[in-house]
Every structure is written in C-alpha cells, then in structure tokens.
Structure 1
Amino acid sequence: MAKIEGRDRLLAKLAALPPAVRSAIKQALAQGADEIVADAKRLAPKKTGKLRDSIKQTWGGGKERYASLSAGAKGDPDLTVVISAGNSAVRYAHLVEFGTSPHINGGMFAGSEHPGTEAQPFFFPAYRANRRKVRARISRATTKAAKRVASGAE
C-alpha cells in the first residue's frame, strides 16, 4: 500500500482556508469537471446511450463507481470531485474503455468463444485533453482568491 506523506498537514491547511478561497477552488473544480464530463459524453460510443448517460460528476467521492477519477483534496469532501462512468445498470464502462481480449465464455454461454472487443476509449482521453487546463484554472483561482484575502478585500 502506498504511503502518502504530508496528507494530514495538507488537510489542516485546506481546513484553514478562508471560505472565499475554498469557494474559488470549488468553482474551478466544478467548471473543469463539467468540461471533462462533456468531452467524455461526446467521445462515448452511442449504441444505446446508457453509457453516455451514466457519465457524471459527484462531490465528496460517491460510492458507486465503475470507472472514475477524482480531483481536489482527497479527504476533504467539499473540495473533492469524482467523475465516473457506469452505475449499477451500466457495469461495462471499463470494458468499453479498454476493450477485452479473446476468451472462452462462462455463465449462460459457457464454452463458447468470444472474439474480444476493441477498445473504444472515451473516459481517459477526455481527462487527458483537459487536465492541464483544469489544473491551471484551479491554480489561477487559488492564487487570485488568496491575493484578494491577503489584500483584505474578503
């Protein structure tokens, strides 16, 4: 298991942030998440639309995740947004994203051969296309809000 050094110190600093700075960070996170979700929905295969409709963002780390990424301060639900694809009805988001290799089926079709499926990436390409822009926006919003607070405007 990976050890995260300085996590408690970071969470303490985040808790001490003035509401104006927290609000600016949250707004930048929300805008970035909206852009990533929109791109992922645009890139998702449109066979039935269920996969596309399952792509969403939740605050504070929602429970039901099949393919997800999170941004923000892990451990601080007010500053953590999770973008996910899939739900209890759409349990195949990862299979679409990464594809499957040829295999012998089990279950109802036991023994039959499945030729595999080709990957149809939609989730991580949307993230990779937006990550630098989103990080820069969060950084700018944080700096701008911190300067406002430091100058006594907030």
Structure 2
Amino acid sequence: MRIGASATTRINTRAYERGLRRALGGMSDDVKRAVERTRIDVQNEARRRAPVDTGRLRSSIVSRSEGSGRTVGYVVGTNVNYAAAVEYGTAPHVIKPKNKKALYWPGARHPVAQVNHPGTRAQPFMRPAVELAETFFRANLSQVRAGRGRR
C-alpha cells in the first residue's frame, strides 16, 4: 500500500503503568484501552482537520494498532497520493504534458506547452492531530481509570 501521508505516535506509558501498578496492581489492560481510544481520537481529529473537496482524503484516513504485550502503539495514515502535498504544501513548479505535446483543459483559451503553477499552501491535518495524542491519552487514561472504579 502506498502511503501519501502518515504519522506514527509512540507514547511512553512506563510512568503511567508504574503508578497504576502501585495503586491498583497490574493495570496494563487499562493502559492498552487508553492507547486504543487515543488511536481513534487521533484518527478522528485528522479526519476533522482534513480539508474537503471531494471527501476522498478525509475518508481515506485510517488507523491500526501495533505492538503487543508491554509495547503498544498505533499508526494513523492515508493512502491518497496527494496527502503529503496537502499536509506540507507545494513549492512553485512547472507542469508539462506527459503523453501529449500540449496541455489543455475545459475553459483554456488554447493548448499550452507548460503551466507555471504557483504552488499550494500547506493545510496540515495529520501533524496537529498527532500533536494532541498525549492530551488525548491523558484524558482517556483518566476515563478508563474512573470507569474501572465504578464497576
């Protein structure tokens, strides 16, 4: 699978696990649940921030869990080939025809040999979502711990 833009987040859960084990003993399942909820939160935040023209980019943002045992994590990404250009923008560049002698599009006055594209501004959607991962994790861990106490 070709990835247009993706982000991997690793959260250092050792300090959280130590405190949880001291307080309640063997709470790594709670940490795993908090990481899983964080994965979904980061994915949803990236989708929320993704600019929408056709909706293809937004709907392509997916995530998956990684790791096992004491190492858990996730990957959030997209396989849309233009995602990186949206995330980081593009510099001014020249567009030339690949298979023909000239470029033409509906509304053009005449075919042209090349087009000087001014570039596009960055519209970050993945990086801001990843930057919120720790905030999401802390909130999710608190919710998981609070839910555990109510059982």
Which TM-score bucket, shorter chain as reference?
0.5 to 0.7
Bigger Rg over Cα: 2
- In the other structure, the counterpart of 1:136 is 138
1:42-81 equivalences in 2 (<5 Å): 42-60=48-66, 76-77=67-68, 79-81=72-74
The TM-score normalised by the length of structure 1 is 0.58
What's the counterpart of residue 121 of structure 1? Answer: 124
Residues 1:114 and 1:32: Cα distance change in structure 2 (over 3 Å): same
Distance 2:95 2:68 in 1: 41
Give the C-alpha shift of residue 97 in structure 1: 0.6
Aligned equivalents of 1:95 and 1:43: distance in 2? Answer: 15
Superimposed CA distance per residue, residues 3-26 of structure 1 (whole angstroms, 9 cap, x where no aligned partner): xxxxxxx9xxxxxx9xx6342222
Structure 1 residues without counterparts, runs of 5 or longer: 1-9, 11-16, 61-75, 145-154
Partner of 1:6: none
Larger % of strand: which? 2
- Could you list the structure 1 runs, at least 4 aligned residues long, displaced by more than 6 angstroms after superposition: none
Question: Against the structure 1 CA distance between its residues 107 and 22, is the aligned structure 2 distance closer, same or farther, given a 3 Å change threshold?
Answer: farther
Maintained 8 Å contact 1:24/1:141 = no
Structure 1 vs Structure 2 CA RMSD:
3.1
TM-fit CA distance, 1:101:
0.5
Tell me the equivalent position of 1:29.
Answer: 35
**Structure-2 separation of matches of 1:81 and 1:102:** 34
Letter in 2 for 1:49: G
Q: Using the alignment, how far apart are the partners of 1:22 and 1:111 within structure 2? A: 58
Instruction: Report how far residue 137 of structure 1 moved.
Output: 4.7
Q: Once the two structures are aligned, what percentage of the paired residues are identical?
A: 32
AA partner of residue 86 (structure 2): V
How many equivalent residue pairs? Answer: 109
> How far 1:132 moved relative to its partner?
3.0
Task: Output the TM-score relative to the length of structure 2.
Answer: 0.59
From 75, 83, 91, the equivalent of 2:76 is 83
Give the structure 2 partner of residue 101 of structure 1.
91
> Which residue is equivalent to 1:66?
none
**Bigger proportion of residues as helix:** 1
Match for 2:35: what amino acid? Answer: L
CA offsets per residue over residues 40-62 of structure 1, 9 Å max, x none? Answer: 111111101110011111122xx
